[in-house]
Amino acid sequence: MSAEEYHHLLYKKLLEGLSAEEERLLKAWLKESNEHRQTAAEVEAIFRATAVEPPQVDVPTELAAFKKRLHAEAAPQPELRVTHRAPKYWMWAAAASFLLLAGAFFLFQKNQQPAETWVTISSETNQNQLVALPDGSKVWLNSHSTLSFAPSFEGLAERKVHLSGEAFFEVEKDPAHPFVVEAGPCKVRVLGTSFNVRARPDEPTCDVEVRTGRVRVSAQSETAELVAGQRAVFDKPSKKLTASAQDIAQVADWRSTEISFQKIPLREAAQRLSRRFGQKIEVKNPALAECTYSGYFPRADLNAVLTNLQAVFSVSVEKTGEGYLLTGGRCP
């Protein structure tokens, strides 16, 4: 029997028990060496550590949520009828003459979905919100952001949403109906892909980063076509759009709860923290900035990371207007 087969036998014993023959085999193997016994103990450690402990659920609450969904799926959508009335009116008007058609068509596009019937979802500060769109696309809203869209994309040439803030999009593929994000002066157009858009009204830039697929970004008169691993930043004051490379693993890393640093210089760690938490984390001492740092935080919390940095590098952490300043310190 191979080593892997013995690993499995150990597991089976812990999981459900062994047959007489299997017990005999295992006993003999364990007797052979201390290394085998050590292996057994380690497999047991892993067995215990990988036990599935599901979080507590309150079944009545889950049942209530389920019934709500069950009945919602069955019910008709009255709003749909309301929103289609307006376009129909303009469609009849468009049939009148060619000139009218052109003018009315423009109005048809504009008034297709009166803004009042649009769905608006906002997230609070320090809150991420997952939103499902009518076509099955998913949007993760970062804190303090707002997303608006029509309750149905039926009959629309484009799947359009408005964004103020930051969100990560996973767009369902539909080449016949482009997906368009309007975020302030920046517009993003895709067919089916995943990407992050950061367009906070109080910031001087819009930032689009692509994780998969292809994306067209346009702002004022500039456009850029991005593929996975690329990023475009639009600077509002200068009205310039610049494209650059972006590490895919870091696109929308604000969505995951964990943060890990793997033997990187402290200045790079500070840069990532600044980006992740939206605050300026600065290392004053240039020598310290080159020190190597490794750390793993299953729940990313800026305070926890700063406390750790304080301990590892013996730095002083000062709160500044824009974030934090690390002074003094030395490599461990």
Partner 1 sequence: MEVRSDEQLLLDRLRQGDEAALDQLFEHYYRYLFKIAYGTLHDTDAAKDCVQEVFLRFWQKRSEIEVKTTLKGYLQRSIVNECLGLLRKRKTYALPETHAALPDPDHSPLQQLESESLSALVQAAIERLPEQCRLIFRLSRTEEMSYREIAEHLDLSPKTVENQIGKALKQLRADLGPWLSILLSAIASPTFLV
Residue 60's CB: how many other CB atoms inside 10 A? 8
Q: Is 306 helix (H, G, I), strand (E, B) or coil?
A: helix
Q: Which is nearer to partner 1, 61 or 125 (CB)?
A: 61
Name the token pair of 262.
């793997």
Distance, CA of 247 to CA of 244 (rounded, Å): 10
Q: Is position 62 an interface residue for partner 1 (rule: CB under 8 A)? A: yes
Applying CB under 8 A, among 20, 21, 31, 52 the residue interacting with partner 1 is: 52
The DSSP code for 201 is T
Q: Which is nearer to partner 1, 7 or 236 (CB)?
A: 7
Q: Is position 7 an interface residue for partner 1 (rule: CB under 8 A)? A: yes
Asked if residues 179 and 158 have their Cβ atoms less than 8 Å apart, the reply is yes
Binding letters toward partner 1, positions 289-308, x by CB under 8 A: -----xxx-xx--------x
Applying CB under 8 A, among 45, 102, 115, 227 the residue interacting with partner 1 is: 45
Q: Is 94 helix (H, G, I), strand (E, B) or coil?
A: helix
* Minimum separation from the CB atom of position 332 to partner 1 (A): 6
Q: Which residues contact 283 (CB under 8 A, 6 or more apart)?
A: 266, 267, 270, 289, 315, 326
Applying CB under 8 A, among 10, 161, 181, 241 the residue interacting with partner 1 is: 10
Distance, CA of 208 to CA of 231 (rounded, Å): 6
Sheet with 280-283: strands ordered across: 280-283, 323-328, 315-319
Applying CB under 8 A, among 20, 49, 95, 176 the residue interacting with partner 1 is: 49
Binding letters toward partner 1, positions 138-177, x by CB under 8 A: --------------------------------x-------
Q: Is position 51 an interface residue for partner 1 (rule: CB under 8 A)? A: yes
Distance, CA of 134 to CA of 158 (rounded, Å): 13
Distance, CA of 151 to CA of 135 (rounded, Å): 10
Pairing relationship of beta strands 292-297 and 259-265 according to DSSP bridges: antiparallel
Residues contacting partner 1: total by CB under 8 A? 65
Dihedral over Cα of 87, 173, 121, 66: its sign: positive
The DSSP code for 172 is P
Q: Is position 212 an interface residue for partner 1 (rule: CB under 8 A)? A: yes
* Minimum separation from the CB atom of position 13 to partner 1 (A): 7
* Minimum separation from the CB atom of position 48 to partner 1 (A): 6
Binding letters toward partner 1, positions 226-245, x by CB under 8 A: --x-----------------
Q: Is position 72 an interface residue for partner 1 (rule: CB under 8 A)? A: no
Binding site for partner 1 (CB under 8 A): 2-8, 10-11, 13-15, 30, 34, 37-46, 48-52, 54-55, 57, 59, 62-63, 65-67, 69-70, 73, 130, 170, 194, 211-212, 228, 248-249, 251, 256, 258, 260-263, 294-296, 298-299, 308, 311-312, 332
